[in-house]
């Protein structure tokens, strides 16, 4: 058993050998390393993009949201039940609806998020505030926080000292809109006290307002659209969403939706692209594995006399097959290991130093994230394709060469 390993090591590691067959083996190992490095780096880039998208679109969302399965609203009293569960760290009541914002002679349709003072504790909105101070609107119920895109549409100057006077309008609940009937439309004055910036889509769509203001605007004194929930330590959003005790407390009319489920389409699209890229790169890896098979073929032809000598000395065909199979596997494993180390180093370096920058983007450098599944999955493809291919090719060639 030791002889095949010793022979394989001798054929793989011959630093003084300048034969073409050994040069080709070195090139094959380099190709395997390059493709492995590229796979790990590219898959890590997809992971980084997925995290970035979730952060950008999840800034206005908590870990979990309690929403109605029947209508658009939930009763205020449900919040007390939510807050008593040990898996809930904080919760916030939210009212969301469409409205018209006016100011400076400009009118714009927007989505108004009415939130309470706990909203900053359950979401990452505080990190998105670029002007003003988050929480000011809760000391002055007329203050609202505009998305950066809406502020630009309304023509509000960034150097404004006094908060510009705006107004929010919405149809009066329970009435039909008729021409020239102001009573069918409720309008409430507001002050633009702050600005947030998340991404171009959300910045031109949302306005944050105090919950009390939206209760009056949309006539929802005893109802909310949903409850945003931050999960306590030791719990995950998925565990809390599937907790039978919590679901029984909330009742059949409440559905617990995770952040990933809300942005399911974006997440699935990114993962589908990642899977397609992995498959394409795997095919490239298969092509690289053919280089290894070609080098093994040339090596076997070059060592035809050695095979005859080993056969005459009593070495079994099975041991000969094992010798060159181990060599092919070694080329793939060494190339894969070198490529994996280089890929991990590139990803860690990008995280630390941000070599690849993104000008004019929401992040200064290209986002990446290492995943053990990606690393081991890539190595499994490398070893699997190389090992199986080498074994099959070696077995076929040795039987042909030893019978000639």
Q: Are 21 and 302 in contact (CB under 8 A)?
A: yes
> Would you state the pLDDT for residue 307?
67
> Would you state the pLDDT for residue 31?
83
> Would you state the pLDDT for residue 342?
95
pLDDT of 17 > 80? The answer is no
Q: Which has more pLDDT, 391 or 55?
A: 55
pLDDT of 396 > 80? The answer is no
pLDDT, one tens digit per residue, over 366-378 is 899 999 999 998 8
Q: Which has more pLDDT, 361 or 286?
A: 286
pLDDT of 398 > 50? The answer is yes
> Would you state the pLDDT for residue 286?
78
Q: Are strands 226-231 and 64-68 parallel, antiparallel or unpaired?
A: antiparallel
Q: Using CA atoms, how far apart are residues 101 and 140, in angstroms rounded to an integer?
A: 18
Q: Are 141 and 188 in contact (CB under 8 A)?
A: no
Q: Using CA atoms, how far apart are residues 82 and 232, in angstroms rounded to an integer?
A: 12
Q: Are strands 143-147 and 206-210 parallel, antiparallel or unpaired?
A: antiparallel
> Would you state the pLDDT for residue 90?
94
pLDDT, one tens digit per residue, over 292-348 is 777 777 777 776 776 677 666 677 767 777 777 777 777 788 888 999 999 999 999
Quote the pTM value.
0.71
| Among 161, 209, 219, residue whose Cα is nearest residue 189 | 209
| Strands (E) located in 323-380 | none
> Would you state the pLDDT for residue 176?
62
Tokens representing 389 are 């291919």
pLDDT of 44 > 90? The answer is yes
- The total of other beta-carbon atoms located within 10 Å of residue 158's CB is 10
Q: Are 248 and 143 in contact (CB under 8 A)?
A: no
Percent of the chain whose predicted confidence (pLDDT) is above 90: 34
Q: Using CA atoms, how far apart are residues 237 and 229, in angstroms rounded to an integer?
A: 9
* CA 286 to mean position of chain CA atoms: 27
pLDDT of 159 > 60? The answer is no
> Would you state the pLDDT for residue 37?
93
Q: Which has more pLDDT, 254 or 161?
A: 254
pLDDT, one tens digit per residue, over 50-106 is 888 777 777 888 999 999 988 778 999 999 999 999 999 999 999 999 999 998 789
CA angle 114, 115, 116 (to 5 degrees): 140
pLDDT of 30 > 80? The answer is yes
H/E element, 350:
helix 317-353
Q: Which has more pLDDT, 55 or 210?
A: 210
| Strands (E) located in 270-389 | none
Cβ contacts of 20 within 8 Å, gap of 6 or more = 298
pLDDT, one tens digit per residue, over 220-229 is 999 999 999 9
pLDDT of 404 > 60? The answer is no
How many Cα neighbours within 13 Å face the side chain of 40? 31
pLDDT of 16 > 50? The answer is no
Q: Is the dihedral of CA 293, 297, 303, 306 positive or negative?
A: positive
């Amino acid at each position: 058993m030791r002889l095949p390993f010793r022979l394989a090591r001798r054929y793989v590691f011959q630093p003084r050998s300048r034969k073409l067959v050994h040069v080709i083996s070195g090139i094959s190992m380099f190709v395997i390393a390059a493709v492995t490095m590229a796979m790990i780096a590219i898959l890590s880039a997809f992971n980084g993009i997925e995290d970035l998208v979730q952060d950008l679109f999840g800034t206005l969302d908590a870990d979990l949201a309690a929403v109605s399965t029947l209508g658009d609203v939930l009763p205020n009293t449900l919040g007390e039940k939510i807050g008593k569960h040990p898996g809930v760290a904080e919760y916030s009541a939210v009212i969301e609806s469409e409205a018209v914002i006016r100011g400076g002679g400009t009118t714009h349709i927007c989505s108004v998020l009415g939130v309470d003072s706990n909203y900053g504790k359950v979401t990452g909105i505080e990190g998105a505030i670029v002007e003003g101070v988050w929480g000011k609107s809760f000391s002055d119920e007329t203050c609202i926080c505009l998305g950066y895109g809406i502020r630009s549409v309304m023509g509000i100057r960034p150097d404004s000292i006094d908060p510009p006077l705006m107004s929010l309008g919405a149809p009066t609940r329970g009435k039909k809109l008729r021409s020239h009937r102001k009573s069918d439309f409720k309008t409430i004055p507001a002050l633009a006290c702050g600005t947030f910036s998340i991404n171009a889509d959300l910045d031109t769509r949302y306005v944050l307002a105090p919950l009390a203001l939206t209760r009056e605007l949309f006539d929802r004194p005893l109802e909310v659209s949903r409850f945003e929930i931050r999960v306590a330590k030791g719990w995950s959003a998925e565990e809390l969403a599937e907790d039978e005790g919590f679901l029984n407390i909330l009742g059949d009319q409440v559905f617990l939706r995770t952040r990933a489920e809300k942005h399911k389409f974006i997440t699935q699209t990114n993962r589908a692209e990642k899977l397609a890229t992995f498959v394409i790169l795997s095919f490239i890896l298969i092509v690289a594995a053919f280089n290894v098979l070609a080098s093994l073929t040339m090596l076997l032809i070059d060592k035809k006399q050695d095979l005859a000598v080993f056969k005459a000395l009593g070495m079994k065909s099975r041991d000969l097959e094992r010798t060159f199979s181990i060599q092919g596997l070694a080329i793939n494993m060494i190339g894969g290991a070198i490529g994996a180390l280089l890929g991990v180093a590139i990803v860690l370096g990008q995280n630390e130093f941000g070599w690849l920058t993104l000008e004019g983007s929401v992040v200064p450098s290209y986002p990446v994230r290492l995943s053990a599944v990606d690393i081991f999955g890539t190595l499994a493809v490398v070893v699997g394709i190389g090992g199986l291919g080498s074994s099959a090719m070696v077995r076929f060639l040795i039987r042909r060469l030893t019978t000639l």
